Amino acid sequence: MDLNMGKYAFFVWGSYGVTALALLSLTVLSVRAHRERARKLRALQETLAAEKAQKVDA
């Protein structure tokens, strides 16, 4: 495997670099948004369940 791209290094590595950066950013943002939304929903469901339990006790 030869990683020396000679006079085309800027164009080849630039393409691979931009691709890696864009796809990694998209992946991180998608996973982070999913986790954040799941966490918020769980917190809201727990609040509602606690309120319901309080009413039953009362």
52 Cβ contact list (under 8 Å, min separation 6): none
4 or 57: CB nearest other proteins: 4
12 Cβ contact list (under 8 Å, min separation 6): 5
Give me the 1-40 binding string for other proteins, x by CB under 8 A, dash otherwise: xxx-xx-x--xx-xxx-xx--xx--xx--xx-xx--xx-x
Q: Which residues bind other proteins (CB under 8 A)?
A: 1-3, 5-6, 8, 11-12, 14-16, 18-19, 22-23, 26-27, 30-31, 33-34, 37-38, 40-41, 44-45, 48
